[in-house]
Amino acid sequence: MGSWWSDHPDLEALARRGRGELQQESIAAEEDAEVLRQRRRTLTDLCFEWMSRGDLVTVAAAGHQFEGRLIAAVNDLIVIAANDLEVVVSLDNLQFARSERRAHFEGTTGDRTVSSFRAALGRSEIDKSPIRLVGISDAFDITGIIEASTDDHFLVKTSQGLTWALPRAQTAFAIGETG
């Protein structure tokens, strides 16, 4: 048994038109909500979304590009695993990020052991592991051991015994080996 208006063709047509308009309004409202969500996202939010989904991502900083899996996206930092390298990128000096392929890897909530670019490089300081630091605009490309990580610079000692003070704001990314 149908609704009482199904016996009245004019009312049934009006009901169908009303349902159609309601559906179109609902779709338009969802599209508007998605646009607003995208407008409110930060670059960190976007990279976190790609990481959570497991996208294959390309990032660029200081004229270098790295393709791989995002393993951290938090505050001023993204970390990408590219082949056997772990690239720590300062979002302040990121040139671009691009999602190459959706859900290429298993998604992850990311590495929660670091919360900033400085903290990520602080791990290298503690481990005394060699790390390559690259500056924006080819200002520097130094490999060494971080002796101190401060609010405004990294103190790095090279294998030649030279000590470099590298401004944190001018450091685009750092590369360390993952294995």
Using one digit for the tens of pLDDT, what is the confidence trace for 163-174?
A: 999 999 999 999
As a whole number of angstroms, the distance between CA 58 and CA 109 comes to 19
pLDDT beyond 90 at 37: no
Q: Which band of pLDDT confidence, cut at 50, 70 and 90, is reported for residue 5?
A: low
Name residues whose C-beta falls within 8 Å of residue 80's C-beta, 6 or more positions apart in sequence. Answer: 57, 59, 66, 68, 69, 70, 71, 86, 87, 89
pLDDT on residue 113? 86
Give the class (CATH, top level) of 43-177: mainly beta
Q: What are the tens digits of pLDDT across the range 80-129?
A: 999 889 999 999 999 999 999 999 999 999 888 889 999 999 888 999 99
Counting Cβ atoms within 10 Å, is residue 118 exposed (0-12), middle (13-18) or buried (19+)? buried
What share of the chain in percent tops pLDDT 70? 91
* pLDDT value at residue 60: 97
pLDDT tens-digit profile of 138-166? 899 999 999 999 989 999 999 999 999 99
CA distances from 70 to 104, 113, 165 (A): 11, 15, 29
Given a cut of 60, whether residue 178 has pLDDT beyond it is: no
- Residue 1 reports pLDDT greater than 50: no
* Amino acid 114: pLDDT: 87
Instruction: State the average pLDDT over residues 8-24.
Output: 79
Mean pLDDT value across the chain: 89
The number of C-alpha atoms within 13 Å of 104 and in the hemisphere containing its C-beta is 14
Q: Is the pLDDT assigned to residue 179 strictly greater than 60?
A: no
